Structure 1
Amino acid sequence: MNISVVIPLLNEEESLIELHDWIAKVMQSNHFTYEIIFIDDGSTDTSWNVISKLSSLSKHVKGIRFLKNFGKSQALHAGFEKAKGDVVITMDADLQDNPDEIPKLYSMIVNDGFDLVSGWKKKRYDSVISKNLPSKLFNWAARKTSGVKLNDFNCGLKAYKNVVVKNIDVNGEMHRYIPVLSKNAGFTKIGEKIVQHQARKYGETKFGVERFINGFLDLITIWFLSRFGKRPMHLFGALGFIMFAIGFGFSFYLGIDKLYLNRTGRLITERPQFYIALSTMIIGTQFFVAGFLGEIILRTKRDKTRYSIKKELNF
C-alpha cells in the first residue's frame, strides 16, 4: 500500500464527507493505493455516523472510535498503530489542510529520501493576535530548544516513512513535537514544505490560547526527556552534588569559625549561614533521592494503555 492518511477529529461532522471525497479524488488521480483512517476522539456530534457511512461505501475508509476524548496525541498514536502504508500522511479534519499537497509530500519521502516532511503554513488565515504571534514565539522556542529547524511545528499536515511512526511514542500532548521525537529516535532527515493553509469552512476551532501554554510546558518536558530521559541521575545527581557542596561549605566555615575564631560569641544556630547550610544539604539530598527514584522507575516501568477504543471499522 502506498499511503495511509491518518485523520484525528473531534466534532467535525460537517467537513468529513467533503474531506473524504477530496482525498479520494487526489488518490485516484495519482493512482495511489491508500487507506483513510479516521480517529473519532470522543465526538459528541454525528461524526461517527458519518465515518460509519463512509466506511460502508468504501473499503479504503477505516474508523477508530474512542470511548471519550483522550486528546490528539492519543488519536494519532492509535492511527499510527494501524497504518499499513509505506508513507503515512497526517492531516486535520477541518479542511484547513489541503489534500492536493499529498502527492508532493509522498514524493519527498519516497524519491528525496526524507524520513519526515513537515508542512509549513507560511501564509495563514488565523487571527494574528490569538494564533499567529503566539505560534511564531512557540516555533522559535521549539527550534532553539530542540535543534530541529522547522518553521511550523504545529502544522497537522505531515508525511512520514512507515518505520518512523512505528518507532515513536506519541503521548500526552506531544503531537506538536513529533519531529523532535523522530530526531531523538534516530530519524534525522527531516524536511519542510510550504503548504497551502485554508480558512476554516465549518464549525469552530477546538484549540484556544491555552494550547500554547501547554505547548511550552511540553517543550520543557521533551527537552528534559531527550537529554536526561534515560539517565535522570545525571541531572538530579549533579544538582544534588552542587546543593550539598554549598551546604557543606557553609557548615565547614561555621565549624572553623566556632572552633578557632569565635569572634561573635553567638551560637551556630543563631547565625543565618547555619540555616542556609541546613536547607541546601536537605535539598541536595532530595535531588539525589529524586535521581534514584527516576532510575528505579525507568527500569521498572511498564507500558500502559492511554486510551480506550469503543469500535473499529474495516480493520
Structure 2
Amino acid sequence: MNTVATPATSQAPVSIPPHRLSVVVPMYNEAENVAPLAKRVHEALHDYAYPWELILVDDGSSDGTPGELEAAARHYGPHVRVVSLMRNFKQTAAMQAGVDAARGDVIVTMDGDLQNDPIDIPRMVGRLLNENLDLVAGWRKNRKDGMVLRKIPSRIANRLIARITGVKLNDYGCSLKAFRASVIKNVRLYGEMHRFIPAWLATVTTPRRIAEEVVTHHARQFGQSKYGISRTFRVILDLISVFFFMRYRARPGHFFGGIGLGMGVIGGLILSWLAALKLFTGASIGQRPLLQLGFFLIIASFQFISTGVLAETLARIYFESGAASQYRVRDPDEPDEGDAWHKPGQAEAE
C-alpha cells in the first residue's frame, strides 16, 4: 500500500486527467460555519481545470444551518446543491446521502467545521488520478484539537484499527478524503462506520490502491465539537463489528459454527472421559462440576451452530435483496445537468 505522505501545500499537480469533481460536506448545527466554508471551497477551486459541484448535506440540524445552506446555494448558483435529511441520522448516514447524490467521477468528503482546509483538495485529487489510486485519505499530522485526552485515544485507536483491518493509515478519523466514485459507491455506510471507510473500501479494492496525504488542520473557530471522550468506547465496539464483517460478512456461519464446533468438541471430550470413568472405575460423577460444564458446552455448541445457520440465511437474503436505505431525503432536488456544474473560468458570485 502506498502511504507516502507529502507536506501540505496549496500547489495543485501540473496535469490532472479529465474528470468531474463532487465535494460532499455533511453538516449538523454548523450555522456559523456554512458561509465561511462555502467561500473557502470556492476560493480553493476557483481556478480548477474541470467541472465541480459542492453538495452540502443538512443532517437534520436544529439551529439556523438549513437557512444558511439554502442561502449559500442561492448565492453561488446551481453547482451548490443542498441535501436535507428529515431528521438527524448522524454523520455516517449524512455522508452516504452526499455520496449517493454526487455525480462526479471523483468524490471528496470533508467536515463542515472549518477544521479541514479545501485548499488540499486539488493536490489530493491529483494524486488520486495520477497514481491510479482509489482512495487518498487525509492525515492530520499536526492536529489542532488542543485536547490531549482526545489525541491519545485517537492514536491508540488508529494503531488498533490498522492492526486489525490490515489497512495501515496514520489517521482514520480525518474526514478529508478523495475517492474514485466507481469504488466508494460500491460501499454502503451505516451506523457510525464513517471512521472505517478505508477498511470498508479494502473489501472492494486492494489496499495497494489506498494512500494517505498530509493535510492542513485548523482549530475549530465556531460552534461546538460533536465528539467527546466517549467516542473511544464506541470506536472499540464498531471495530469489533468491522472485524466481523470484513472476515465473515459473506459467511457468518463459519464464525458462529466454528465457535460452536469448538465448544462441542470440548464438551464431547469431557462427557466421554466422565462416561469412561463411570463405566470402568465405577466412580461417582453426578456431583462433579465437569459434568455440568460438559453439558453446558454441548448445549452452547448447538446454540452457536443454530445461530450460524440463521446468520447464513440472513446473509443470503441481504445479498440477494440489497441493503436498505439508511436515511430519508426531504424533497430531493434534481438540478439540470447542464447548469449544475461549476465550469472552468466561470465567474464567482459577489
Provide the TM-score with structure 1 as the length reference.
0.96
Q: Deviations over 1:193-242 (max 9, x none)?
A: 00111010101101111222111111110111111111111121111111
**8 Å CA contact 2:128, 2:178 repeated in 1:** yes
1:221 lines up with 2:238 in the alignment: no
The offset of 1:305, in angstroms, is 2.5
Corresponding residue to 2:53 among 31, 35, 39: 35
Q: How much does 1:175 deviate? A: 0.3
RMSD (CA atoms): 1.3
Alpha-carbon shift at residue 28 of structure 1 (Å): 1.7
1:271 aligns with 2:288: yes
After superposition, where does 1:26-175 map in structure 2 within 5 Å?
Answer: 26-57=44-75, 58-175=77-194
Task: Pick the aligned partner of 2:263 from 225, 243, 249.
Answer: 243
TM-aligned CA deviation for residue 314 of structure 1:
5.4
Superposition deviation, residue 128 in structure 1: 3.8
Question: Displacement, 1:31?
Answer: 3.1
Q: Tell me how far 1:281 sits from its aligned partner.
A: 0.6
Alpha-carbon offset, residue 21 of structure 1? 1.1
1:293 matched residue in structure 2: 310
Query: Which residue of structure 2 lines up, in the alignment, with residue 280 of structure 1?
Result: 297
Segments of structure 2 that go 5 or more residues without pairing to the other structure are: 1-18, 336-350
How many equivalent residue pairs?
Answer: 312
Q: Which residue of 2 aligns with 1:258?
A: 278
> CA offsets, 1:160-215, max 9 Å, x none?
01112211111111100111111111243001000111010101101111222111
Matches of 1:200 and 1:252, distance apart in 2: 65
Aligned to 2:250: 230
TM-score (norm 2): 0.86
8 Å CA contact 1:105, 1:117 repeated in 2: yes
Shift of 1:313: 4.0
In structure 2, distance between residues paired with 1:15 and 1:241: 55
Q: Is the 8 A contact 1:27 1:33 kept in 2?
A: no
Q: Retained in 2: the 8 A contact 1:61–1:314?
A: no
Are 1:90 and 1:156, in contact at CA under 8 Å, matched by a contact in 2? yes
CA offsets 1:86-140 (integer angstroms, 9 cap, x no match): 2111000010000100110110111121110000001111134321101000001
Provide the C-alpha distance between the structure 2 equivalents of 1:127 and 1:223, rounded to a whole number of angstroms: 31
1:248-299: per-residue Cα shift (whole Å, max 9, x none)?
A: 1111111111111114xx3x32121110111111111111011101001111
Asked if 1:3 is matched to 2:21, the reply is yes
Amino acid at match of 2:205: G
Task: Find the aligned partners of 1:50 and 1:128 in 2 and give their Cα distance.
Answer: 29
- SS of the residue 1:102 aligns to: helix
**Structure in which a larger fraction of residues adopt helix:** 1
CA contact (8 A) 1:243 1:281 kept: yes
- The structure whose RCO (Cα within 8 Å, separation 6+) is larger is 2
SS in 1 for 2:307: helix
Secondary structure at 2:279 match in 1: helix
